[in-house]
Chains A and B, each alone.
Chain A
Amino acid sequence: MSEVGRELPRLEARAKVTGRAEYTHNLRLPGMLYGKVFRSTVPHGRIRGIDTAAARALDGVHRVITGEDIRKLIPEPYYGPAFHDQPILALDKVRHVGEPVAVALAADPHVAERAVQLISAEYDELPAVYDEVAAMQPETVVHDTLRPAGTFADLKHLKGRTGTNVALDYHLRRGDPDGAFKAAVHVFEHTFKTQQCLHVPFEPFVAVAEPADDTLVIHTSNQTPSFVRSEIARLLGWPENRVRVKVPYLGGGFGAKVYVKLEALVAALALLVRRPVKIALSMEEQFYVITKHATTFRIKSGVSAGGRIVARACEVLWNGGAYADIGPRVTQKSGFTSPGPYDIDNVRIDSYELYTNRTPAGALRGFGIPQLVWAYESHTDLIARELNLDPVTFRRKNILHEDRPQASGTAMKDAAIAQVFETLAARMGWGDKEPFDGGGNTIRRGRGIAIGFKASISPTASVAIVNVSADGSAVLYTSTVDMGQGSDTAYAQIVAEALALKAETVRVVHPDTDVTPYDMGTLGSRSLFHMGNAVRLAAEDALTKLRALAAEAGLPEGTNYPPAEIFKKRFGMQAGNVIGTASFVPGYKSPDPQTGLSDNVTPFWMIGGAGAEVAVDIETGAVRVEKLVNAADCGRPINPAVARTQLSGAAIMQLGFTLSEIMQLDGGQVTNASLADYKIPGIRDIPPMINELVAAEQHSGPFGAKGLGESGTFGVSPAIANAIHDAVGIRITELPITAEAVLRALRKQQGRPLEDAA
């Protein structure tokens, strides 16, 4: 073992520090047109008419396209991974402000932009629904009829349903929750809310479609090239082999760029005008593509006299926005972890995905888990306080240990929950003899801790190819997208380990569906485990074939000839290849439709937590995080240096979602769609941090490793809320925790609430 565990710099380090790394952002093709999007100005309405005459008359405009033009090319132009509900351009109705309605095409993007300003549309406005709680009542219905894609078995019963906004309801029943609540000595119930916020990758969504004779090439900044290919082929009624999807490096993804975003639009436009078409969104437009679910989570626990949680009921409402995207998967896949990493015999979970007239919500670094941890770790802390128990001691008493079943019925395996938790407690100095300094006067100090967990996605498949050339060098072909997480480097280390090479010499070919094999997608921290296993197996397959080649060449068995010598001996010169291939498809049992239970619900578990020390200014409500401890179980890291930066980066991103980031809505209009008004963390916002990967091993992972991209987000928000409670005795139940929110709560506590501004 020498390549695995090495802290080598990323393979593409030089390309990135010299500005020469390849992004779709850079791509220009001969004859290419730029598309600019005309968007809906109303949150919900029937389209009465779209006037494109003035735009078409503008000098330099090639063409203006509406939904009706696309319907001529694609009769059913609706896409989506879970529901076929999203039109390529709005048809008949618009369902959120910013929904694409028309596109102006021109060789000069400034001309296209000008043309968009000349388009106008008229709508018959309909009542709109924005709030997930309100959307449970079918007074305003966003979609007249539900159109599940048929991909997922648990959505089939929703097909054709009318008069509802519920795009998925997931229910889990374990033990006897009603009986346990009755028998419990203490019962606690709280409601927590999270806000709509978003990814803002710095390379905004961008895609280019390039038509050829009977094929279409799509260059895109996207995390799921294999899905894009099959979805575009389905829309066009083509076989998959006529659609080629190419993905270079991504300037950030964070879950925004999964499934189809701009790809169906550029594909349709390019086929309509028979020229390459590029659409590159602005930062502002990113606010109208995909976001993180706002949620309302009502959580109730029954606790025994001895301080054991005996029952927990979770009702989670997910605000999915106007189109389902992958929201129904969030509702189910994250839904079953809603009670948290605690050993609870009696559980009830009801998790609902709801359509509303907002920008759609999907996956954002944690796939719903940070919203859940926010609620269950705030709630768990409140219980400890009510019972006058130390929050660490209370959690210790209830924590879910190895081999014990989680709410779904699946036993915990290689899930270092207790180790992560004890690491946090130790780094926070919990249990130290020195008393914690609670501050005084106007600055009060407090500390809090929180831990969460996540299941990996399944069912799922990954395929890898390792090509050993006649000089002994190796090339890896996968459809994993390197968007900054370092997958190229980790895979090179795995191949190098298996083939006794140096990782720096392994070349990794980026996704190109004509060349690289199938992968479900780069999402949910799945790549290192799922594709990593496929890569290892493919490298081992190549090794087996090299040995067979050596035998064919008459070389004695058991000797270690360098591959170059084997090829030379076998072919009489430097010639030939050895191709190793493998696919990795883990086992999975889908939850029972009645009980929501499954004894094999995930191939592995991710564990992450945080501890925070805060200083609260009681005169202004300002919260300063003075220390942030992040800990996670990523198995045995392939590249510990890169892994630590993933942990740290995820925690800082979640710090933004905790303290400042919120998409502000007024009458369905986003009022802060820019980095000037939507505040993400900058270099002055970073607290002193400790980032620690616990010593662990994922036995089913490649060389003991598993995914880590999201784990750093889990505990940050509740750790800070718990610390604020510790400091000043107020409980914030809604994100983000702005100074205003804290000051309002403080003033309410003092019996002199702040008046709302007129």
Chain B
Amino acid sequence: MTAARTITFTLNGQQVSTAIEPHRNLVELLQRFDLFGARESCGQGLCGCCTALVDDVAVSACLYFAVWVDGKSVTTIEHLDADGALSPVQQAFIDTGAFQCGFCTPGFILMSHQLLKEHPNPTDDDIKHYLSGNLCRCAAYPEIIEAVKLAARKNA
């Protein structure tokens, strides 16, 4: 295994530094900071459970090498309520009951954040397009679509 490299990046608004081997992925890096909201599940970038934002763009952290975040900014689900209040998307997921087991939920919420940033008033097709890379085995899809619409209305 190759030697560790020191990387510096912004994690949820704080600048941090750590040494990490080049074969480790972003999920493992986040776990070192006790952040478990990005979860490796399918391991192939298909389910979206490991979603994190890198420079405000959603990535599959299971396929994203940790060293790639050097000099970048990483935001995880744990940061969305940093000011103590849930984000409108998080609140909408609660209000519509848009999850069951909750394992995939952080990924859906982060992807919905990116969607609403780029399309403040998304159509059903926009929602399905942005969220087609996230899977939910409990199949809360109808409620998730409602949640995104509710969050969009609240943002307006």
Contact = CB atoms under 8 A, between A and B. Distances in A.
Interface in B116-138: 127-128, 131-132, 134-138
B48 to A, nearest CB: 10
A110 interface: yes
Interface string B94-105: 110101111111
Given A648-B139, A682-B132, A686-B141, A251 B81 contact: no
B22 to A, nearest CB: 12
B119 to A, nearest CB: 15
A16 B99 contact: yes
Interface stretch (A402-410, A480-488, A534-542, A570-578): A480-488
A295 to B, nearest CB: 22
A626 to B, nearest CB: 15
Interface stretch (B3-11, B53-61, B63-71, B72-80): B72-80
A752 interface: no
Contact of A683 (B46, B81, B138, B145): B145
B42 to A, nearest CB: 4
B142 A689 contact: yes
B101 A484 contact: yes
A472 interface: no
Interface stretch (A166-174, A196-204, A451-459, A545-553): A196-204
A17 B90 contact: yes
Task: Please classify the interface of chain A as helix (H, G, I), strand (E, B), loop, or mixed, using the class held by over half of its residues.
Answer: loop
Given A18-B78, A282-B43, A484-B101, A653 B139 contact: yes
Contact of A19 (B37, B44, B143): B37
Contacts of B99: 16-17, 484
A757 interface: no
A20 interface: yes
A16 B102 contact: yes
Contacts of B93: 13, 17
B109 interface: yes
A502 interface: no
A252 B97 contact: no
A226 B109 CA distance: 35
Given A202-B47, A683-B145, A19 B132 contact: no
A18 B93 CA distance: 11
B46 A676 contact: yes
B153 interface: no
Given A674-B42, A682-B132, A645 B103 contact: no
Contacts of B77: 17-19
Nearest to B90: A17
Given A18-B77, A648-B142, A684-B132, A202 B104 contact: yes
A438 interface: no
A249 B138 CA distance: 14
Contacts of B104: 202
A26 B49 contact: no
A74 interface: no
B101 A19 contact: no
Contacts of A14: 86, 94
A743 interface: no
Contact of A18 (B38, B80, B132, B142): B80
Nearest to B144: A683
Contact of A111 (B1, B105, B132): B1
A511 B2 CA distance: 42
B20 interface: no
Interface size class of B (residues with CB under 8 A): 35 or more
Nearest to B41: A202
Contacts of A252: 101, 103, 137-138
A201 B90 contact: no
B100 A486 contact: yes
Interface size class of A (residues with CB under 8 A): 35 or more
Contact of A645 (B24, B47, B76, B140): B140
A251 B103 contact: yes
B39 interface: yes
Most buried by B among A16, A28, A249, A641: A16
A680 B102 contact: no
Contacts of A674: 42, 44, 46
A200 B49 CA distance: 13
A251 B139 CA distance: 13
Contacts of A16: 99, 102, 105
Contacts of A25: 36, 39, 103
Contacts of B38: 19
Interface string A188-230: 0000000000011111100000000000000000000000000
B103 A23 contact: yes
Contacts of B76: 19
A483 B141 contact: no
Given A202-B104, A676-B44, A686-B142, A13 B131 contact: no
A23 B49 CA distance: 14
B39 A203 contact: yes
A254 interface: yes
A586 interface: no
A19 B91 CA distance: 13
Contact of A649 (B90, B128, B140): B140
Interface in A631-657: 641-642, 645-646, 648-649, 652-653
A653 B102 CA distance: 16
A642 B97 contact: yes
A681 B94 CA distance: 23
Contacts of A676: 44, 46
A674 B128 CA distance: 22
A401 B86 CA distance: 50
Nearest to B133: A682
A511 to B, nearest CB: 16
Nearest to A254: B137
A653 B140 CA distance: 10
A58 B99 CA distance: 43
A202 B143 contact: no
Contacts of B1: 110-111
B95 to A, nearest CB: 7
A483 B39 CA distance: 16
B36 A19 contact: yes
A675 B44 contact: yes
A202 B38 CA distance: 12
B68 to A, nearest CB: 18
7 contacts: A18-B90, A202-B101, A202-B103, A203-B103, A252-B137, A675-B47, A683-B132
Interface of B: 1, 23-24, 31, 35-39, 41-44, 46-47, 49, 76-78, 80-81, 86, 90-91, 93-95, 97, 99-106, 109, 127-128, 131-132, 134-145
Given A17-B109, A23-B36, A283-B44, 14 more contacts: A14-B94, A17-B90, A23-B39, A110-B24, A203-B101, A250-B101, A251-B39, A251-B102, A484-B101, A486-B100, A652-B139, A675-B47, A676-B46, A680-B137
Interface of A: 9-10, 12-21, 23, 25-26, 28, 110-111, 199-204, 249-254, 282-284, 483-486, 641-642, 645-646, 648-649, 652-653, 674-676, 680-684, 686, 689
What 9 A-B pairs have minimum CB-CB distances, sorted nearest first? Answer: A19-B37, A251-B103, A484-B101, A16-B102, A484-B100, A652-B139, A19-B77, A26-B36, A19-B106
